[in-house]
Structure 1
């Protein structure tokens, strides 16, 4: 949404790292729209309000999410590799934004963790209710579907999501990569022959090269 701005009252943060955590991600080609008051009110008819505290996990990477969240106040960060040394923030959403991408509607496991970064409130809507609304209300459906498609494309382009660890010479590795690409699943391929990260990851998971490919 062009001209999309951070919520009022957001002051300067002295540390650059903290600023990156709390500054809302600008909208990119409609991928991060802000819902209108009418749209939020319509969703609220089918959901419940929930208070959020710092570090509350709303969606956890690797787990199936059954809930659609709309940020009413505060900020929520979308984080990859949450709780690990490789943890990094992908997005930050403020009031009026919703959390989720295409996998949410398809019942896939999450490719990221969504965690509250400050006290706030979220609107919680079940996926069954969301799917019903999307099919019945074109104003909500168009916004949610367009954003989810845009977010999936951005994740794929950034190499976010799960990792495929395997040799370029392995037919099984090739089949896994082709499956992920064909289904537009966010992933990153780590080549045993050339990627320095491969050995470290295999050691962390306690597997040997002969046991790859590994997802």
Structure 2
């Protein structure tokens, strides 16, 4: 099998700062001379961005968890096929803001869908790829939602109980896969946390590349 690039994902509850840290990491790696692709889920392609608007529009109330799951998976197919796989084949370092773990926790742990079903569909739509490293930025639910601001999207407007289940799901995955998923507090100093993230990534790069 041909050598592929590294795949790094960022996960976390709402307001955890994952988008900020993922972009900071990308900028750092580019300055270090790495060829980097940044993308986000849902999004990153024309079709995926359109699906994102449907999923996050507060007007789309009462959407079933199965509908959410299938829409996220549809967006993921486009991002994987058009963005992630081609970049990995070119041995680039791919950084993605959310991936399959998000669907497992939001629609599975919090939404009540069967976890095994989600993972099976996930393997199909991702062509079997999985992250080499995932950063989970953990934060108290109420604190995170306050950080998210007043203008909340459809997912952010879900109940406190829902978001507590999301956090619980993420921490469960971290316990199951400690080698892949590294947990950092999202309430500490940004520069200090980013430094730890960068060091972890550089160690992985030196061992894999």
Higher RCO by CA contacts (8 Å cutoff, separation 6 or greater): 2
TM-score norm. by structure 2 comes to 0.26
TM-score norm. by structure 1 comes to 0.25
**Which protein is bigger by CA-based radius of gyration?**
1
Structure having the higher strand fraction is: 1
